[in-house]
C-alpha cells in the first residue's frame, strides 16, 4: 500500500511467455518499481532484482494458471495468451494483456473464449489450424506501449 492505494502487481504466465516479452517485463519492472512475478513449472532465466520474482509450480495442466488466479488481487495485471486464464483474471477484478499487446476486457473476453473453443474443436476433429504467427516487431511495440499505458494509469 502506498498512500492508501494498493499498488498493481504483474503476474506472468511464464511457461508460454516469449523471451523478448519477458525481457520487456523485467526492464519495465525496474523502471516503474512494480513487482512482476513469473509463474512457471520450469526455472526461467531472470535478472536479480527486488522487483522481479519467480514462483516455480509443479508440472501439470493449468497448475501455473491456478497459482496466478489464487494470488491475484483486484487491479493486478496478468500477462498471458491463455484465454481462459485471462477470463478468470478479469472475473476476479484483474486486468489481462496478451504478449501481442491485446488487452482482454469484460467486453471482449466472451467472444475470445467462443473463438478459442471453436478452434479447439476444429483441431480435435483433425483440421490443421496452423497456429499463431511468430511475434512481430509490431507485436512487441504494441505490448510495450500497452504495458506502459496500464502502468501509468495505475499510478506508476
CATH of the domain at 57: 3.40.50
Range of the domain at 34: 10-126+133-153
Kindly state whether residue 92 falls inside one of the protein's structural domains: yes
Question: Which pLDDT tens digits describe the chain residue by residue (156 residues)?
Answer: 333 345 799 999 998 899 999 999 999 999 999 999 999 999 999 999 999 999 999 998 899 999 999 999 999 999 999 999 999 999 999 999 999 999 998 887 776 766 666 567 656 777 676 667 788 999 999 999 999 999 888 755
- Nearest CA to 45 among 22, 78, 62? 22
User: CA angle, 140 as apex, 25 and 29 as ends, to 5°?
Assistant: 15
Kindly state whether residue 88 falls inside one of the protein's structural domains: yes
User: How much is the pLDDT for 68?
Assistant: 98
- How many structural domains comprise the chain? 1
SS3 content of the chain, % helix, strand, coil (to 5): 45, 15, 40
Amino acid at each position: 500500500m502506498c498512500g492508501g492505494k494498493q499498488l498493481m502487481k504483474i503476474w506472468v504466465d511464464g511457461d508460454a511467455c516469449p523471451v523478448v516479452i519477458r525481457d520487456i517485463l523485467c526492464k519495465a519492472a525496474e523502471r516503474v518499481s512494480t513487482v512482476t512475478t513469473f509463474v512457471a513449472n520450469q526455472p526461467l532465466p531472470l535478472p536479480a532484482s527486488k522487483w522481479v520474482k519467480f514462483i516455480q509450480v509443479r508440472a501439470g495442466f493449468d497448475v501455473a494458471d491456478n497459482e496466478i488466479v489464487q494470488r491475484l488481487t483486484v487491479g493486478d495485471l496478468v500477462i498471458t495468451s491463455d484465454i481462459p486464464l485471462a477470463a478468470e483474471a478479469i472475473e476476479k477484478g484483474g486486468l489481462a494483456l496478451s504478449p501481442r499487446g491485446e488487452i482482454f476486457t469484460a467486453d471482449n473476453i466472451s467472444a475470445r473464449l467462443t473463438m478459442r473453443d471453436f478452434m479447439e474443436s476444429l483441431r480435435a476433429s483433425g483440421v490443421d489450424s496452423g497456429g499463431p504467427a511468430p511475434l512481430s516487431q509490431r507485436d512487441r511495440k504494441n505490448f510495450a506501449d500497452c504495458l506502459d499505458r496500464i502502468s501509468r494509469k495505475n499510478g506508476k
